[in-house]
Amino acid sequence: MNQESESDNNILGQVIWLFLGVLGGIGAAYYFLPQVMPSISASLSGVDVKAYWYLSRGSAIIAYVLLWLSMLMGLLLSSKLSKTWPGTAKANDIHKFISLLGLFFVIFHALILMGDVYLAANFWQLFIPLSGFPYRPEWVLWGQVGLFLWIGLILSSYARKRIGRKAWRVLHFGSFLMFIFALIHGIGSGTDTALPAMQILYWISAGSIVFLILFRIITAILPEPAANSTQQKIPLNEGV
């Protein structure tokens, strides 16, 4: 096993353990808090159950922020700005880590909705586009397609040596579509879109991604300065 594969496995293991820790914390809270605070038990098992929806919205926001940070790190890497900060190797590890962690939060965001009595959505409606999702299906569709793109991009990263670097780079352009789909999904289906905090998040995240994309395009078009362009030419007869 080479160093890169070992690093990928370590990152995957860290993300899985972290996500299991999050699930364990939620499970412990679900079990123990109602014994201390009976009102929480009523909110989870009563007639007016909203906890599952709140958990879904919260995990969706976390997943979107992680996707945004992952895109930022990817663009820093491709534009070589990561050499200045935080370092190429560190930026690559952060990029992989938060990409995997964000994917787990997206899956949690969808699965937790199966407990929402108002939606009454099944597994297939949550993950399969145009399968009859009961809430704003035209906006949920964007998120479902984005999820499959996310999974495909991560799988392609682990299979980069088999598919080749060129194919991997072409597939990675799908990350821009994934971000756009996630943004559309969040704006269209999120019940908190009207909140100023969410609007600020959407504007800052989209704006920063567009800025780095334009920066990447400009730096790719402009010719790189010659290595000796700043060096003064020394006459051949100098010092003779």
pLDDT score, position 235: 44
- Name residues whose C-beta falls within 8 Å of residue 15's C-beta, 6 or more positions apart in sequence: 97, 100, 101, 104
Of 148, 138, 159, nearest in space to 107 by CA: 148
The rounded distance, in Å, linking the Cα atoms of 106 and 235 is 65
The rounded distance, in Å, linking the Cα atoms of 138 and 129 is 9
Q: Distance between the two ends of the chain, CA-based, in angstroms?
A: 58
pLDDT score, position 29: 55
Q: Which two tokens stand for residue 239?
A: 């010092």
Q: What is the amino acid identity at position 25? A: G
pLDDT score, position 116: 81
pTM of the model: 0.77
Q: What is the amino acid identity at position 126? A: L
Of 47, 43, 25, nearest in space to 34 by CA: 43
The CA R_g of the chain, rounded to the nearest whole Å, is: 23
Give Cα separations from 173 to 121, 142, 179, 199, 214 (angstroms).
Answer: 32, 17, 11, 26, 14
What's the distance, CA 221 to chain centroid? 28
Cα dihedral value 28, 127, 161, 158, nearest 10: 0
Q: Which two tokens stand for residue 45?
A: 């098992």
CA angle 104, 107, 108 (to 5 degrees): 85
The rounded distance, in Å, linking the Cα atoms of 16 and 234 is 60
Q: What is the amino acid identity at position 50? A: K
Of 58, 179, 51, nearest in space to 108 by CA: 58
pLDDT score, position 43: 54
- Name residues whose C-beta falls within 8 Å of residue 51's C-beta, 6 or more positions apart in sequence: 40, 43, 44
Q: Per-residue pLDDT tens, the chain, 240 aa: give them.
A: 566 666 666 776 766 776 676 667 666 655 654 554 455 555 555 545 677 888 889 899 999 999 999 999 988 888 777 777 677 788 888 888 899 889 989 998 998 888 887 888 888 999 998 888 988 999 999 999 999 999 999 888 888 888 888 888 888 888 999 999 999 999 999 888 999 999 999 999 999 999 999 988 888 887 765 544 444 444 434 343
